[in-house]
Amino acid sequence: MQPDPLLDHRSETLLAVSKTGSLTAAAKLLFVTQPAVSQQLNAWEKELGFKLLDHQGKKVALTPGAKRLVDYLTFLRNENQKMLAELKIQTAPLRLGSTLSIGSFLLPQVLAKMIEQDWPVTTQIGNTQTLLSQIQRGELDAALVEGDFDHRHFVWETIGQEKFALFGSHQLKAAVNLENLFDYPLLVREPGSGTRQILEKWLQGHGSSLTDFKQIIEIGSPNAIIELLKDGVGISFMYQALVEDELAAGQLFEWKLNGLAIEHALYLVTAQNSFFKNQRHQLARICRQLNESNLADR
pLDDT at 92 over 90: no
Categorize the per-residue pLDDT at 83 as very low, low, confident or very high, splitting at 50, 70 and 90: confident
pLDDT of residue 1: 59
Whether the Cβ atoms of residue 155 and residue 269 lie closer than 8 Å to each other: yes
Cα separation, 112 vs 244, whole angstroms: 20
Q: Which residues contact 160 (CB under 8 A, 6 or more apart)?
A: 106, 265, 266, 287, 288, 291, 292, 295
Average pLDDT over residues 75-96: 78
For the stretch 123-165, pLDDT in tens is 999 999 999 999 999 899 999 998 788 889 999 999 999 999 9
What does the mean pLDDT of the chain come to? 90
Share of the chain above pLDDT 70, in %: 95
pLDDT of residue 86: 66
pLDDT of residue 183: 93
In order of start, what are the domains of the chain with their CATH numbers?
Answer: 9-87 (1.10.10.10), 93-298 (3.40.190.290)
Average pLDDT over residues 85-111: 83
pLDDT of residue 192: 86
Residue with the bigger pLDDT between 261 and 84: it is 261
pLDDT at 89 over 80: no
For the stretch 2-45, pLDDT in tens is 677 778 889 999 999 999 988 999 899 988 999 999 999 999 99
Its pTM stands at 0.65
For the stretch 200-232, pLDDT in tens is 999 999 999 999 999 999 998 999 999 999 999
pLDDT of residue 88: 61
Please give the sequence-ordered ranges of beta strands (E in DSSP) within the chain, or none if there are none: 53-56, 59-62, 94-98, 121-125, 142-145, 154-168, 185-188, 215-218, 235-239, 253-255, 262-271
